[in-house]
Structure 1
Amino acid sequence: MKKVAALFLFLIAGTIPWVCAQEESLRLEYKRVSSVQLFLRVYYPPDLDTTRSYPVIIFFFGGGWYKGSYRQFLPHAAYFAGRGIVSVLADYRVDSLHHTSPFDAVRDAKSAIRFLRQQADRLHIDPQRIVAAGGSAGGHLAAAAGNIIGLEEANEDLSVSSRPNALVLFNPVFDNGPGGYGYKQFGNRYPEISPLHNIRPGAPPTIVFLGTRDALVPVATAQLYQQKMKEAGSRCDLHLYEGQEHGFFNHQNSRYYSETVQQADQFLTSLGYLR
């Protein structure tokens, strides 16, 4: 494998380190649907040891399944690469570009996770320590991959699991049932795609970040998700941010970017994914 481009350490808001990485340290096509190519962008720790297998975190951008860019989570990916975990930014199909549905987006998210597991040796990652992360609709995709059985691409090797081992969710729209985000779009099909309605024993340990003034995801929904996770015997850490609205965690808001990244770091450290 080519030597990974050098990564440089900086400080954000005087408290939280992140790593300013070259735009594409490694760009891989993970899926092709007709003429559509979907890519992963991989960022490695600066002191990569190719004899080791590293945990990996894959980020899915937000945008209502309609639009968005992998660049949303570039600062997050760079930070975690600097902390010693392989970080990945994922493309997936969105309506504005590909005229596709959220069901297709979930299939893409699962394909991306399966690809990482299939390519674990080549990419120097641990297939049993894959973290799926995302914000808003991207958080939905991560949670759907972690909880939903089905919505797999039929032409893939389904003997390889598409399920992540842990979840980091930033204001995720994980209730798609009546009254939830996307219900008008899904209608009676919501049980197929709504993470809240598919929690079962063995659900991956999860951390959730949510502002108390989020207009798309009520606090009560996040609390119900946490309750269902606990009833299923799984860990779910919920962090509420008073007065914050949807998208408060993004890098442009240095205070809450720093605070949520620190909390995610502590969560992954508690799982043994970070030192």
Structure 2
Amino acid sequence: MKVKHILILAFILIVAGKSFSQQQIVYKQIDSIKLVMELHRPESMDFNKEYPAMVFFFGGGWNKGTIKQFEPHAKYFSKRGMVCFLVDYRVRERHHTTPIESLKDAKSAIRYIKEHASEFQIDTSKIVASGASAGGQLAAATALISDYNETSDDVSINCKPNALVLFNPAIDNGPAGVGYNKIGDAYKNFSPLHNIEKGAPPTILFLGTNDYLIPVETVKYYQTVMQKVGSTCELHLYEGKKHGFFNYNKFENYRDTIIHTDNFLVSLGYLDPESKVKIE
């Protein structure tokens, strides 16, 4: 093993203090608040190779939530050959913050990952942002929203991901959407639906037709606007399913959305179609 690679491995292990394949890393500190991301790596990695990455943001209305929500997804996609990150961010119940701070943290997380891409062995042209509900809004906003950057961030590092995987995302934050009561007129520069432009990354979107927060008409309109600007937006509707239908505890739905996501990432050239693994 080359000296450079030994040093990289030592850096990761020292920072994380955990097993090689799963670690927690502090990516940001605001006063006494330390924000972490949990890293899930493929068990066997070629130190001369770069890997695609997937960054997950939990749901919870920008009020609460846990990185454990997407742990099954991270375990699956790390087995498929991706470096996966479960990102903690500031929420109202724990940090007395607004959705604006949540978005700043999401952007900081992706910038941190890109800044340390060589240590993580990441191909920065193949970074996928994913999330559910408010976390889906954050994932989409890192790609579409130019405002709300942390003053301590190096904004020369582009925080935009290359693809999006969104589960019942709160993509409309306008007066008729989700979160307007928290951000008011800031929605004009916060809401993904209101800021879709040419160059928006390819997206796959999942929604249950009985979702009490996200109307089917909203995601269909989002898809229409994405297509108008020339971007891929693959939409999967689940008849009669409610908000959070895709979580691991609803295994058949979880499995189906994993299959569609896997096929989507294969279509982008991020995953090897011949290296499928069991969904469990």
| TM-score, with structure 1 as normaliser | 0.92
Q: Deviations over 1:146-192 (max 9, x none)?
A: 11111111222111101111000000000001210111222211112
Distance 2:21 2:180 in 1: 36
Determine the structure 1 residue equivalent to 2:209.
212
What is the alpha-carbon root mean square deviation over aligned residues?
A: 1.7
| Partner of residue 69 from structure 1, selected from 66, 69, 85 | 66
Q: Classify the secondary structure of the residue corresponding to 1:200.
A: coil
1:256 is matched with 253
- The reply to whether residue 51 of structure 1 matches residue 48 of structure 2 is yes
Structure 2 CA distance for aligned equivalents of residues 255 and 23 of structure 1: 30
Aligned to 1:128: 125
Matching residue within 100, 105, 113 for 1:103: 100
Alignment-mate amino acid for residue 60 of structure 2:
G
Q: CA deviation at 1:4?
A: 9.4
SS of residue matched to 2:227: helix
Cα displacement (A) at 1:24: 7.5
Matches within 5 A, 1:159-198: 159-198=156-195
Alpha-carbon displacement from aligned partner over 1:128-154 (angstroms, at most 9, x marks no partner): 111000111110100111111111112
Looking at secondary structure, tell me which structure has more helix per residue. Answer: 2
**Residue 41 in structure 1 maps to residue 34 in structure 2:** no
Which residue of 261, 266, 269 maps to 2:263? 266
Specify the code of the residue in structure 1 equivalent to 2:87.
A
Is 1:221 aligned with 2:230?
no
How is 1:144-155 mapped onto 2 (pairs within 5 angstroms)?
144-155=141-152
Q: Work out the CA distance in 2 between the residues paired with 1:102 and 1:242.
A: 30
In 2, Cα distance between equivalents of 1:49 and 1:26: 18
DSSP-derived class of the 1:223 partner = helix
SS in 2 for 1:134: strand
Per the TM alignment, residue 23 of structure 1 is displaced from its structure 2 partner at its CA by 11
1:235–1:59 CA distance, 2 compared to 1 (3 A)? same
Per the alignment, in what secondary structure is the counterpart of residue 194 of structure 2?
helix
Counterpart of 1:187, as a letter, is: G
1:36 maps to a residue whose letter is I
- Partner residue, 1:138: 135
* Aligned CA distance change for structure 1 residues 265 and 2 (closer, same or farther; 3 Å): farther
Instruction: Give the corresponding residue for 1:80.
Output: 77
SS in 2 for 1:26: strand
Cα distance in 2 for partners of 1:23, 1:83 equals 17
Looking at structure 2, the residues matched to 67 and 252 of structure 1 have their Cα atoms a distance apart, in angstroms, of 19
Partner of 2:276: none
Unaligned runs of 5+ in 2: 1-8, 14-18, 273-280
Percent of counterpart pairs with the same letter? Answer: 49
Provide the rounded CA distance (Å) in 1 between the counterparts of 2:189 and 2:201.
Answer: 18
Q: Which letter does structure 1 place at the counterpart of 2:144?
A: N
**C-alpha distance in 2 between matches for 1:230 and 1:128:** 22
The alpha carbon displacement at 1:28 in A equals 1.0
TM, length-normalised to structure 2: 0.90
Matched residue SS, 2:252: helix
Given that 2:41 and 2:78 are in contact with CA atoms closer than 8 Å, whether structure 1 keeps it comes out as: yes
Please give the alpha-carbon distance, in whole angstroms, between the structure 2 residues aligned to 1:37 and 1:172: 26
Structure-2 change in CA distance of 1:144 and 1:48 (3 Å): same
Q: How does 1:27-38 map to 2 (within 5 A)?
A: 27-38=24-35
Alpha-carbon distance in 1 for matches of 2:241, 2:21: 32
